[in-house]
Amino acid sequence: MSSSVLDASALLAYLNEEPGAAMVERALARDAVISAVNWAEVLSKVAETGLDPDLLETELEQQGLLGQSLKVEPLLPEDGTQIAHLRPKTRSLGLSLGDRACLALGLRLSIPVLTTDRAWEKVQLDVEIRVVR
């Protein structure tokens, strides 16, 4: 079973060796999961910088990270419902659909979520939120 859910910002902090990377690395050492929505966010950020997202995916697979220490979890119909329910609770905090997808996955799996976004500390849900920096 996975130890935690990574938000796109947490995985990007790890990949870019930013503050918080060590905490994400510890989570990956205990196996972590990322929603397909947040994985798409990571790949989109990579593409935005001019890098090839296919190359990143291949490199992470070859390193034994993607598919082993980090699993991409598909979005399920019940996640969509949970994401919708989270909208009124998080709207004032500015949480995006991707943020809510991460929280919904954490709720479904009953495991902590990791993010770099301090606004999440104000979210009142039955899931542990760990801000990595």
Which CATH number characterizes residue 48's domain?
Answer: 3.40.50.1010
Which residues lie below 8 Å from residue 105, measured CB to CB, with a gap of 6+? 5, 33, 35, 73, 79, 113
User: What is the pLDDT at residue 128?
Assistant: 97
pLDDT given for residue 79 in this prediction: 98
DSSP 94: T
Spell out the residues 6+ positions from residue 54 whose beta carbon is closer than 8 angstroms to its own: none
- The ranges of the chain with pLDDT < 50 are none
The boundaries of the domain holding residue 84 are 4-131
Rounded-to-integer distance, Cα 86 and Cα 98, Å:
11
pLDDT value of position 1: 79
**101 touches 87 (CB < 8 A):** no
